[in-house]
Amino acid sequence: MANTTVHESAITISHEEMDGSPRIIVGEYGIEGHRRLIVDWGDAVALACQLRGGVHLAGGLNVIRLPHRFPWSNRAFCTNVEVNPFEDTQTGGGAGVNPVATYEKAILEVTYEMSQGGPPADGADGGGDSGAYEVVVTETLEKFNKVLTYTNRGLFWDAGGTKPVKPIEAPVRIYRGMVWNYTRHKLSALPAAAFSLSDCVNNAKVRSRTYGYEFDIGTLLYDGCSPRLQRTADGGVSMEASFRMLHFPWGWNKFPIPGTGDLSTVYKTGGDAFEPYTPANFAPLLAVL
């Protein structure tokens, strides 16, 4: 499994700011910036990729280059780059087989926005390094139900114990749980844990940073992932994958106690716990940095 490292974008390609640039808009949700840059035509796409950031695999690491930070606000990042020819500098093109226009210079229209779409916590732009980076993890919760059928042993339809409950009449209970969808963005490959943890439960406590909740040992069951492949502007491959985990707060390796509504661990001969769901380390699945 490739680890991940995050870096600020380094702009190494020579360019110039055009007259009248930048334009800065201070709106309801903070800073929005627009720049117009002039660059050699042959370097235009490379500069656009450096500004936009991206992900690539290098030396066994997923290297994430964050979008370029707006020079006039540390909380706004590059969200779009449009490359246009500087028409006055056209040097080739015209008639012939597969004619391709060439230019001496290109104009880059660069847009910067608040990365997470919300106002700053203090209501102003401010300084320091508290600006929001491009999102690399998102989390969502949804409900799910687990149905358990109890044994009929020791159960009766009357208080005097004269009418035993038949097997077909065994009571059923619906337990309510949650689905925790943990989505990692900007991946260059799926972690090996996406395959190896199938039908496993967490062997240590796991904390959701988004919701501030700590899942107890044995209460998360890994239910697979849904990956989505994307191609980046520089020809690289980027992926996002949503890892689905079912939260059952009573514990996945616990079972109904006959005659009660409780769940408990059961044991095999020799004293070992019966665990049909294998406890495993979820850290490789959830790791970001």
Q: How many helices (H) and strands (E) does the chain have?
A: 3, 20
Phi and psi at 60, nearest 5°, equal 80, 5
Predicted model pTM: 0.53
The pLDDT tens digits along the chain (289 residues) read 445 566 677 899 999 999 999 999 987 667 889 999 999 999 999 999 999 887 766 666 667 778 898 998 877 889 899 999 987 766 666 566 556 778 899 999 999 987 544 333 333 343 334 344 456 788 999 998 888 787 787 888 988 888 988 888 888 878 888 999 999 887 777 888 999 998 899 999 999 988 889 999 999 999 999 988 766 555 556 788 999 999 999 999 998 887 677 888 989 888 889 999 999 999 888 875 3
**Residues β-bridged to residue 220:** 247
Note whether 95 and 187 are same-domain residues: no
Q: Are strands 137-149 and 172-187 parallel, antiparallel or unpaired?
A: antiparallel
Of 76, 191, 207, residue with least CA distance to 134: 76
123 found inside a domain: no
d(CA 120, CA 114): 9
Residue 244's nearest CA partner among 191, 287, 286 is 286
| Residue 146 structure tokens | 């687990």
207 and 84 part of one domain: no
141 and 249 in a common domain: yes
Domain residue limits at 49? 3-114
Number of domains in the chain: 2
